[in-house]
């Protein structure tokens, strides 16, 4: 150590300057906003101090830029910046050594901590990013820790999913849902309360089961891309939308139909079929494994095919809204192609028809398509006692075939609740 120091002392200064520049590159990549600060620090340090830092591994080089950081999820970056950084810093605060080997001060300063951090900020997207605040560097558990990411993604899915569910379902219930449905003979006692309870009970489990897919995406194992110019071929930025719909529509059909198999219907799918006349709050009122199984195609798609990040976010929002709309009882789309609310009502009433999510294509190919009754599209007939009685009679026959005894609890105030 003394020999090397003496050698440096005898140089004209060029060697020391080169060493400091090299040390600057080793401390922080040029892309970070802390390079200027670190350069100022290292330019004031003697070569012996720099060598001590490197030898004692007081500062470690940040990980090389990889797909892991390049595809850091936008939502995770947002939540980290505005919430989770502060929580992790409070729960697991950083405890640096008393002496700062960077500045030589008796205590570490915040710039020292930032310069020494193994984690360095790289935006999730070049189109939208949220610069980290000081708290991002003040936890023993850095942002790129896999266990922190897993926990954060689980919480994001649970909290944001619940918020989206209540907002979209409530808007649909207030402005779209026909309240006359309450008088239907197959509307359950306290049904909305039951739907909400089942949905909220399922949310944390579905979030936990889904989290590994998002974790793999965040850590760079999917085919998500950021810039529109990164599309694999011309017009793919437009084609990815119908491609996603067709892919997921096909696989949701087969998964949904499989859930009606006697081996798994009563355990997994029957809870969702408790709602004969669903409301918007029934949209995710599933057994959690049922809801997770039907969501698999949406999560598998970006691992098999390229998908632009913001298109992915838009499609997930669309999926949530669509799921609410097909349970709102407003039969707008009398279409031979779209599997709208009327088609899905046929599924809830008669069980073994219209398994598709968006289109009637696979139901037609699979022989499970049932055209909605024309009465559903006429306001003067869709809510009549005659139509309801006809629906109830046929539904009860199907229930006996599929489930045996009907164990649902209907509103006792309506004499038509049980049609004999």
DSSP characters over 53-91: HHHHTSS-PPPPP-HHHHT--HHHHHHIIIIIHHHHHHH
Q: Are 87 and 152 found together in one domain? A: no
Domain annotation covers residue 388: yes
Interatomic CA distance for residues 99 and 31, integer angstroms: 28
Q: Which of 102, 126, 142 finishes a domain?
A: 142
Over range 170-199, report the average pLDDT.
95
pLDDT digits (tens, 9 = 90+) for 202-233: 999 999 999 999 999 999 999 999 999 999 99
Domain match, 156 and 116 both: no
Q: Which residues lie closer than 8 Å to 30 by C-beta, 6 or more apart?
A: none
Query: Is residue 164 assigned to a domain?
Result: yes
* In contact, 48 and 199? CB cutoff 8 Å: no
Pair (248, 301) in one structural domain: yes
Q: 297-335: string of b/e by CB count within 10 Å (b at 16+)?
A: bbbebbeeebbbbebbeebbeebbebbbbbbbbbbebee
- Quick check: is 395 in a domain? yes
Q: Which helix (H) or strand (E) holds 275?
A: none
Answer yes or no: is 24 within a domain.
yes
List CB contacts of 395: < 8 A, sequence separation 6 or more. 186, 276, 349, 350
Residue 125 lies in a domain: yes
154 shares its domain with 127: no
Same domain, 72 and 163: no
**Which pLDDT tens digit goes with each residue over 229-239?**
999 999 999 99
More confident residue, 396 or 110: 396
Residue 236 lies in a domain: yes
Q: Report the share of the chain in percent with pLDDT over 70.
A: 77
Residue 360 and residue 222 share a domain: yes
Count CB-CB contacts under 10 A for residue 32: 18
Average pLDDT over residues 377-401: 89
372: which DSSP letter?
P
Q: What is the mean pLDDT of residues 159-184?
A: 95
Integer angstrom CA distances of residue 249 from 336, 362, 392, 406:
16, 8, 29, 31
Task: Name the domain count of the chain.
Answer: 2
| pLDDT value at residue 107 | 66
User: Once rounded to an integer, what is the mean pLDDT over residues 118-131?
Assistant: 89
Higher pLDDT, 58 or 378: 378
pLDDT at 104: 57
User: CA 352, 315, 292, 223 torsion: positive or negative?
Assistant: positive
Strands 307-308 and 224-225: parallel
Are residues 237 and 173 part of one domain? yes
For residue 168, how many other CB atoms are within 10 A of its CB? 19
Query: Where is average pLDDT lowest: 3-12, 285-294, 319-328?
Result: 3-12
pLDDT score of 412 more than 90:
no
Average pLDDT across the chain, whole number: 83
Same domain, 273 and 181: yes
> Which domain-ending residue is among 118, 142, 166?
142
Tell whether 67 and 158 lie within a shared domain. Answer: no
Segments forming the whole domain that contains residue 207: 148-402
- Whether residue 28 is predicted with pLDDT greater than 50 in this model: the reply is no
If asked whether residues 253 and 174 sit together in one domain, one would say yes
Same domain, 103 and 226: no
Whether residue 418 lies inside any domain: the answer is no
Q: Please provide the size of the chain in residues.
A: 420
Residue 40 in this model has a pLDDT that exceeds 50: no
Q: State in Å, rounded, how far the first CA of the chain is from the last one.
A: 97
Mean pLDDT of 298-325: 95
Same domain flag for 85 and 178:
no
Instruction: Give a yes or no: residue 387 inside a domain.
Output: yes
What are 336's two structure tokens? 């031979």
Check residue 105 and give its pLDDT.
56
Q: Is 93 helix (H, G, I), strand (E, B) or coil?
A: strand
User: Is the pTM for the entire model greater than 0.85?
Assistant: no
Of the residues 142, 169, 204, which one is the last residue of a structural domain?
142
């Amino acid at each position: 150590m003394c020999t090397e120091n003496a050698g440096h002392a005898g140089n004209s200064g060029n060697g020391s300057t080169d060493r400091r520049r090299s040390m600057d590159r080793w401390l922080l990549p040029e892309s970070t906003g802390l390079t200027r600060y670190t350069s100022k620090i290292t330019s004031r340090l003697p070569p012996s101090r720099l060598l001590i830092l490197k030898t004692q591994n007081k500062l470690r080089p940040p990980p090389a830029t990889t797909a892991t950081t390049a595809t850091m999820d936008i939502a995770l970056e947002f939540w980290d910046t505005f919430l989770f950084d502060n929580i992790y810093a409070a729960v697991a605060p950083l405890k640096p050594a008393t002496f700062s080997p960077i500045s030589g001060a008796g205590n570490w300063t915040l710039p020292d901590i930032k310069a020494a951090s193994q984690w360095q900020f790289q935006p999730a997207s070049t189109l939208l990013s949220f610069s980290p605040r000081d708290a991002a560097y003040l936890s023993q558990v850095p942002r790129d820790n896999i266990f922190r990411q897993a926990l954060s993604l689980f919480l994001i899915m649970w909290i944001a999913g619940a918020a989206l569910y209540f907002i979209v379902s409530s808007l649909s219930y207030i402005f779209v849902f026909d309240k006359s449905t309450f008088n239907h003979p197959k509307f359950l006692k306290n049904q909305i309360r039951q739907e909400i309870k089942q949905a909220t009970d399922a949310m944390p489990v579905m979030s936990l089961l889904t989290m590994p897919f998002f974790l793999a995406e965040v850590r760079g194992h999917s085919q998500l891309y950021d810039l529109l110019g990164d599309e694999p071929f011309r017009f793919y930025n437009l084609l990815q939308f119908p491609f996603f719909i067709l892919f997921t529509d096909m696989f949701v059909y087969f998964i949904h139909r499989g859930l009606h198999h006697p081996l798994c219907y009563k355990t997994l799918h029957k809870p969702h079929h408790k709602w004969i006349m669903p409301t918007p709050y029934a949209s995710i009122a599933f057994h959690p494994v049922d809801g997770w199984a039907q969501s698999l195609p949406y999560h598998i798609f970006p691992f098999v095919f390229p998908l632009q990040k913001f298109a992915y976010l838009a499609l997930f929002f669309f999926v949530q809204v669509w799921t609410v709309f097909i349970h709102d009882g407003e039969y707008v789309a009398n279409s031979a192609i779209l599997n709208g609310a009327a088609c899905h009502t046929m599924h809830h009433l008669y069980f073994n028809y219209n398994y598709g999510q968006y289109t009637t294509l696979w139901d037609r190919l699979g022989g499970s398509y049932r055209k909605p009754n024309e009465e559903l599209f006429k306001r003067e007939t869709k809510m009549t006692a005659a139509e309801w009685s006809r629906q109830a009679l046929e539904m009860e026959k199907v229930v006996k075939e599929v489930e045996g005894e009907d164990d649902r609890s209907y509103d006792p105030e309506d004499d038509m609740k049980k049609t004999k």
